[in-house]
């Protein structure tokens, strides 16, 4: 059995080398420890990094943990990485993403019905970005694909789990006219990719 100090050090090293959020079960298997113990060590490290004002923080995504940069240091990262190429999510893409996040699992026809406009290209774009994925087929006529959000969605928007989604009092407020969907404002999310053009490509 490894000491607490050794296990914490090992978790830091594994998170750094892994790059993606490290699953508690995988870390526990490597450390030959119980998942509950390893999860508690992750949380202790998370609290220590925050209390000490570190430039690197530990974020929980479902039952995994990984490194992220401290949000208040964004200005320094921007200067270091200038020029930064930013890909934007259009209002239409955010609208579809919100529908999927709150209604999941959901079919494309259900999304189209809520929006009042076809969403195929938007869905394809969100799938390409890894924010949503196909999780099966509906039992309805034609057995259409059903979609849900991914871990990448949680990571990009800073949620530990879907329970962290803000409450929506009236979901039908997401309904918009085709004109509104075409001309809505854009919100930027840094995907370190090229700029998009128009709703059909900017989803």
Domain ranges within the chain, ordered by starting residue: 4-74, 88-201
pLDDT per residue as tens digits for the range 128-187:
999 999 999 988 888 899 999 999 898 888 888 888 887 765 434 444 444 444 444 444
Q: Which of 1-10, 82-91, 153-162 has the lowest mean pLDDT?
A: 82-91
Token couple for 134: 């196909």
DSSP code, position 158 = T
Is 196 a residue whose pLDDT tops 80?
no
Token couple for 7: 């296990």
Just give the CATH number of 4-74: 1.10.10.10
Q: Nearest-CA neighbor of 182 among 202, 165, 163, 196?
A: 202
| Residue range 70-90: mean pLDDT, rounded | 74
Query: Percentage of the chain with pLDDT > 70?
Result: 79
* Class of the CATH-defined domain 88-201: mainly alpha
Q: Which of 9-23, 26-40, 50-64, 86-100 has the lowest mean pLDDT?
A: 86-100
Residues 184/92, Cβ–Cβ less than 8 Å: yes
DSSP β-bridge partners for residue 107: 146
Strand ranges (E), 105-186: 106-107, 132-137, 145-149
SS3 annotation, 38-75: HHHHHHHHHHHHHHCCCCEEEEEECCEEEEEECHHHHH
Q: Looking at residue 169, what is its pLDDT?
A: 52
pLDDT range class, residue 123, cuts 50, 70, 90: very high
Same fold, 4-74 and 88-201: yes
pLDDT range class, residue 87, cuts 50, 70, 90: low
Q: Looking at residue 39, what is its pLDDT?
A: 96
Between 77 and 184, the more confident residue is 77
Burial letters for 97-133: b for 16+ Cβ neighbours within 10 Å, e otherwise? bbbbbbbebbbbebbbebbebebebbbebbeebebbe
Q: Looking at residue 83, what is its pLDDT?
A: 53
Token couple for 189: 């999310």
CA angle at residue 57 from 86 to 130, to 5 degrees? 40
What's the mean pLDDT when you consider all of the chain?
81
């Amino acid at each position: 059995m490894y000491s607490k100090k050794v296990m914490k050090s090992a978790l830091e090293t594994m998170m750094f080398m892994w790059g993606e959020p490290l699953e508690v079960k995988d870390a526990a298997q490597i450390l030959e420890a119980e998942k509950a113990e390893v999860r508690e060590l992750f949380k202790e490290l998370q609290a220590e990094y925050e209390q000490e004002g570190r430039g690197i923080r530990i974020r929980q995504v479902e039952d995994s943990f990984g490194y992220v940069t401290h949000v208040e240091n964004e200005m320094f990262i921007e200067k270091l990485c200038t020029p930064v190429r930013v890909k934007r999510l259009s209002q239409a893409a955010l609208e579809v993403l919100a529908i999927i996040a709150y209604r999941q699992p959901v079919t494309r026809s259900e999304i189209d019905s809520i929006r009042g406009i076809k969403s195929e290209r938007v869905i394809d774009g969100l799938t390409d970005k890894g924010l949503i994925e196909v999780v099966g087929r509906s039992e309805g006529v034609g057995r259409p694909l059903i979609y849900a959000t991914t871990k990448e969605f949680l990571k990009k928007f800073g949620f530990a789990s879907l329970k962290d989604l803000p409450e929506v009092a009236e979901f039908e407020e997401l309904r918009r006219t085709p004109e509104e969907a075409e001309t809505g404002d854009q919100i930027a999310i840094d995907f370190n990719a090229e700029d998009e053009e128009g709703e059909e490509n900017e989803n």
